[in-house]
Structure 1
Amino acid sequence: MKIRLERDVLAEAVQWAARSLPVRPSVPILAGLLVRADADGVTFSSFDYETSAQISVKAAVADEGQALISGRLLSDISKSLPAKPVDITSDDSRMELVCGSARFTLQTLPVADYPTLPSMPESSGTVPSTVFAQAVAQVVVAAGRDELLPVFTGVRVEIEGDTISLLATDRYRMALKELTWNPGSPQLSATALVPAKVLNDTSRSMTAGEEVTLSLASAGSGDGIIGFEGHGAAGERQTTTRLLDGEFPKVRHIMNTAAVLNVRVSTAEVISAAKRVALVAERNTSLRMLIADGSITLEAATGDQAQASEAIEAVVDQPDGGELAVTAAGFNPSYLLDALGAFDTPYVNFAFTAPSKPCQLTGVPALDGEALTDYRHVIMLMRLPS
């Protein structure tokens, strides 16, 4: 194999393909990055039996071929090279990189031992890349991180015609985002449970192009994988990942509970206040929201050592009138800040259903405007001492 490509093209391609390499691979061969050159250019690929990634870029190919090299080492080297064209040659045992006066000789791994990458399923449809990345980012904050409960570490992807719903929960909070897309068939109906970390990393890495192609293996194929493909100036990128097994909990009904009290506040103001007050919150204790006509007050304390409170203006509305149905609520500070950070609207609405019951957050474009229901975030409230 003998190729030449620009240093920036090499560095970006290698880093993208190597980003999903396992830190502690189950077998050493999985730490390798497969480099394959043909008449169309160069493809860099990685695979750990769960997630695959490959990127194809243009290059001057003098001799076609392939080689397997340590992915993290190649990534580190490519980033450190001077801004000059890079010449790469390889034989059965060595790969040599020459860039200006810099020269690296690396030992290759046996290509024959490397697993075959899964094929990309048939395209299901396309979605604007930036819209998809934002939607995923809003939802993954509610996904679990406990690998002992894998079903909660995934995002449930539901496709019905031209609507995609993304749903995640770790049992203490949940997030739902609905967006429109361009399905391959208007009758398309499918569901998949995708690892949240892979989905988040992939959606963010696909924003170079205008759209992302989703490819979901049909239910009867038995493949159990989902694929993502994006195009951009840096080349063609493809990722596949195995779907998670298990039945996702039925939690959608919680988001349909009628509110007995609505509180609307400035998103920026409540985030700033919550960050300041949470500085004195003791571990596993709540950040309290005290609700009154025209304002809310956030409070937290660490025993008798430190206390904090801050009041901000709010629009408090109780549909049924009378005395306030909820006057105090306890939030996990981290969960509250995660939820608030997912909104890009100037105002946010807290919909309370009852004391110590789930609270639903939605974005509001104006204080007197309609709440936007395309993104909803529910937080289980903490019990307050009586």
Structure 2
Amino acid sequence: MSITEKEQHELTQHLREQLVTQMKETNAIRSTSIEDAFLTIPREAFIPAFYQRDDQERRMIWQHRTREQTDAKSYLAQMYRDESLVTKIDQSGWPISSSSQPSVMAKMLEALDVQPGQRVLEVGTGTGYNAALLSMLTGHPQYVVTIDYDPALTRAATQLLAQVVGDGVSVITGDGFLGYHEGGPYDRIIITASIPTVPIALIKQLRIGGKLVMDLQGPLASGFLVLTKHTTNTTGRFFDEPLHFMPLTSAELPKQHMPRVTDLKQHHSFPLPPNHHFPGALNDLAFRWFLQWYIPGCQILRKKVQPRDAATAMDLITIINPDEQRQSMVQFSGGTAWQITTYGIDNLWNELMNAYDIFERLGKPQTSEYTLVVTDNAARLTIQTLELSV
């Protein structure tokens, strides 16, 4: 259904105001400058097409929706829901780029605390929508640098940003993990992708007193991190609410090889006592956050299996330590009663038990209770007297 230009303008303004009101009510927006930015910048201008998941299919099937193929009112309504929108998928059908959920963007921008005239680096250009918001917050597009690994994304974003906010935003194709030294130093850096560590190169491109906001995403849990650079080091604090972004594409982040159960020697198999804290503890986000740093790189896999001699399927939970020198695995099989099987070089079961004992002794700390300190070459998490590498 087509609508007139006037009707579209009025509907867009109404939907924008509705979304901003919703974000103010949930405290995602707290400042006038960020409210004005979301009221002014048209999200729909940066999303000419998106992918919608087909919930009727058991497999991950994405339907491509374009502005031209979709009813105008429905399209605009979709743009101003507080939802992320997948904007690119790879050849296997896996999402690799999106327009982030507006309330998450607003919370990160509030934490970033951009002031007029400050120089800002955004890592993860995506559609260009967030760079446009930053252009308003800084007072001029010339203060904004945005970088993305994908040249197709940066080409499209360059054109759309010029149309919406005018010339001035520096859109760079490159590895965001390394930043963009030529445009620095920066007063603010925002990373709109998840990263398993703190990029030291970005810290070096930050001015003294500058802030960096990011999603520190380990293999088991996410942390909303705000870093401030000082003369001798950089310190960080975490917000209670986790962030959820697509992983940053970078040649600097090697992919880990996950061993298969058939690769490892089986050691022990025994029943788990009733009311044991495992495997239930693996559902506790606070413990998952602790565990991923206590056993760096550990992974948790879950699936249903159908034993040949059983009438019903059972749960199979696998915890993996992928470290090449310590490859090991623990499998929980069952549902109401659990059987433990251990594999590999190290006794991962003992490590899990030790991790939970320490977690309990620390008082089961939440993510916001941790602090992070970055020096020239390393980042370390601290919780009370315990230090953990990141």
Q: What is the TM-score normalised by the length of structure 2?
A: 0.25
- Which has the bigger relative contact order, CA under 8 A and spacing at least 6? 1
* Higher-Rg member (1/2): 1
Higher helix share: 2
